[in-house]
A and B are shown apart, each in its own frame.
Chain A
């Protein structure tokens, strides 16, 4: 999702206007932090990574050619930086698995969403999202929350469009199954 006035703000930043950069950061801060947190699962680390990302963006802004959207460029830096940090940490992270969940059989609940809303759906969904692999979480977040097209998401995570579509489909099914189980339980 391209934020309003990105190009104008970029031009102002390049002219040395740091206030314009603060505005730019404010537009992407939460999503960059969210992406980092989904990968690193540690708020302090995610905050550090988010700060590093915005410093890198600031220092590289003069090399941003505008071939892709600014949001795509910023999220790609955030994604890569978070992954690098994760690798550097060399910690054993138990991400759990949802592999045992059976594929959807068509017997979906017609009023499932209303039921989700009535229950503590946020926590349930966050737990379900947390069980997905890091990259899948990023894909789901960017697709459903930021409403980015699959092509841009593929660019951010460095996968093919087809691969992203497959991951998105699987994640969707897994999430639905988890949510449905919670609701019907």
Chain B
């Protein structure tokens, strides 16, 4: 009898555990179901739909009317000189912005990380521009780059007659690079600063004792230990700059000009989809090409960073 009572007790506890597990299964689904519903419709489905649409010619006036064209959109987009121009602009933009902002962010982070007065102030000040809207920043910079603007006034004080910046095909893209670096260098600095503060101080003390000078300490200790952060900063930079659009749109007043000098890849895709007739499928194909480029570049740089880390 005594044994029986024990058995019953065991059964009830396992029974309630099993019931709780059963309940959990349903609770789990209930917790995720509403979110998953929207996620499937507005995130997962559009990805597949986007790939699917790149194989069709879509009627601009009746979007539901489409015709299977296979890979024709891809051959069209890859043969379009405007797409080549847009990709070249994007690559140039990306290269200069990512390189300059990464180096600048590292330099600033190392400077803020010294025992100096006002380091919190500097961190906040550098971060601040990244919270404002890209459209607003572009408008403010249009005024800075204006003939009567701040930049050309500053140049005139040292006797240089500034160019017309955004109206000159040679300087329009560099002007947008400048405002992009101005916006994001501070954010990247915050990432570097967090990583710098995690480096144990005893490593530097040991190096100083061994007689390493500040440059050796930077290149032998700081830089190698920051490799994961550099990878992250470069990846974020590449993904962001490869999709630059808002600034180019506002600065060129929606034209991508002068002389297509500010036509970026996303800008091109936008124009194909919404400014040309019957080229929505071409736009979808352009987006797939850009996706492949971004994934490839990210993988290549992951490979480079990994081999460096092994060293």
A and B interact = no
Using CB atoms and an 8 Å cutoff, list the residues of chain B in contact with chain A.
Answer: none
